[in-house]
Structure 1
Amino acid sequence: MRSWWSSVWPPVVAVLFFLLVWQAAVSIFDIEKFILPAPTAIGSEAVTGAAGLFQHTLATLQLTLIGFIIGTTIGLVISLALHMVPFLKTALYPLLILSQNVPTIALAPLLMIWFGFGMLPKVIVITLVCFFPVAVAALDGLARTDRTMMNYMQMAGATSWQIFTKLELPHALPSIFSGIRIAATYSVMGAVIGEWIGSDRGIGYYMMLQKSGYRTDRVFVAILVIVLLSLLMVLLITLLEKRLIRWNRKS
């Protein structure tokens, strides 16, 4: 309990100190609310506007979960295919890296033109930002398998499938979950980007609407919701990891 508290209180104190400095700066320099609202004003708006924001939050969460599951699945399938077939890894891995050099915000308008303004282009955006960290992390974990144990299993007559399921995959799980945690945070960002381009609901749509009305306090509330959704996704992945990898004490 003491160890848990010692790791929690430093960031909590840092955040509280930052908020106090922010509040004091707004009051001392008399900054206009539409430029930089005080934390108290943002908190008040979060409470009063919670009912109207709830539906937007649910829409973004639904979109995030769908895109995250699809993107993670594709990332795992790609990593396994490249790991099992070395020729594919040699041929496609550089293209996998190059695919991330195109900004997602630049692809989103094209996806809207090709697939319309429904859910599909938004799911594709989330998939594009999620599959890469999962694929790279899984490939790295599979490549770091203990070669001594692999040689021992091969000498013992283990098949390739047995080596994969009993050695390579369990050994790679911590790396895989590291990539999934990164993808979890990216999925929320991808959902918001998709909603920026074209949507009639969601946190991204809500942000664009409030920006047009110069409601900076509501924009900050939307940012707070995005942060909380990202933390929730990471927490769920961490809890799942601890249940699946009980032997990994560091996790």
Structure 2
Amino acid sequence: MTRLLRAVVIAALILGVWQALVTAFAVPGYILPPPTRIAAQLMAQPEFLARNAAVTAIEIVIGLIVGAGLGVATALAASLFPAAGRVLLPVMVASQALPVFAIAPLLVIWLGFGLASKIVMATLIIFFPVASAFLDGLRRTDPGLLDLAAISGASRFDTLRLIRLPSALPGLASGLRVAAAVAPIGAVVGEWVGASAGLGFVMLQANARMQTDMLFAALFLLGLMALLIRALVDALARRMVPWIAESET
């Protein structure tokens, strides 16, 4: 509640300063609309904005689930099988070296203008932080615990299940938090390249028509969506590693 109240107060201060500056300097609405005009746009077309926000939310959530799953599987494979790791690690790095704006048009050509290309775009962006953080956590397992497992005759599966996975969960939680923050980027970039619905599509249409208030309304909804997804992932991460959550409090 303290964090929520602090966030509300800060947001109110920012919006108040924004409104005051736009009014004092008579900034044209097509350059920077005041918060009141953006709020009016949100209330004027709630169904249109909600429908497009739902499309983007579906793309983000599915991309987050698929990207996180692939990231976890890749990290486990690279950790358990060193030969596979030597092949997978360069692929992970290369997937992030390619600019997303270069990949997005190809995905639209290959997969069409529907949800598939946007989900794949979001998956590509989410995959790396999850795989990288989880793999780092698996590799940082206490060597003493691994030696104890070997002396005790534990199998590779038991060592992974009882020692390495619990030790790597904080790293996985950090990777999921980062992934939740960047997840909207992939979906929106995919919508910018080619889409018939979604907040990215709304932004493009509003920008072409000089409807800056609609553009900011879509940005507001996208930011709100990102905050909600981050909060849900953060709650999940705290359940995954309750001992970390207890130490923080």
TM-score normalised to structure 2 length:
0.93
Percent of pairs identical after alignment?
A: 36
Whole-Å separation in 1 of the counterparts to 2:196 and 2:229: 24
Whole-Å separation in 2 of the counterparts to 1:25 and 1:144: 51
Q: How far does the alpha carbon of each residue in 1:135-169 deviate from its partner, in whole angstroms, 9 at most, with x for none? A: 00001111111111111121111111111001110
Equivalent residue in structure 1 for 2:109, among 95, 108, 113: 113
Structure 1 runs of 4+ aligned residues shifted over 6 Å read none
Amino acid paired to 1:200: S
Whole-Å separation in 2 of the counterparts to 1:250 and 1:212: 50
The 5-angstrom pairing of residues 97-112 of structure 1 reads 97-112=93-108
Residues 1:25 and 2:5 are matched in the alignment: no
Moved more, 94-103 or 70-79: 94-103
Equivalent residue in structure 2 for 1:246, among 219, 242, 249: 242
Equivalent residue in structure 1 for 2:209, among 188, 207, 213: 213
Moved more, 9-18 or 161-170: 9-18
Number of residue-to-residue matches in the alignment: 247
The 5-angstrom pairing of residues 1-251 of structure 1 reads 5=2, 7-248=3-244, 249-250=246-247
Whole-Å separation in 1 of the counterparts to 2:47 and 2:193: 24
- SS of corresponding position for 1:247: helix
Moved more, 83-92 or 38-47: 83-92
Decide whether the 8 Å contact of 2:60 with 2:187 is kept in 1.
Answer: yes
How far 1:212 moved relative to its partner?
1.3
Q: Please, which runs of 5 or more residues in structure 1 have no aligned partner?
A: none
TM-score normalised to structure 1 length:
0.92
Whole-Å separation in 1 of the counterparts to 2:36 and 2:238: 37
Amino acid paired to 2:161: T
Decide whether the 8 Å contact of 2:113 with 2:196 is kept in 1.
Answer: no
CA 1:106/1:225 → structure 2, altered by over 3 Å: closer, same or farther?
same
Decide whether the 8 Å contact of 2:173 with 2:240 is kept in 1.
Answer: no
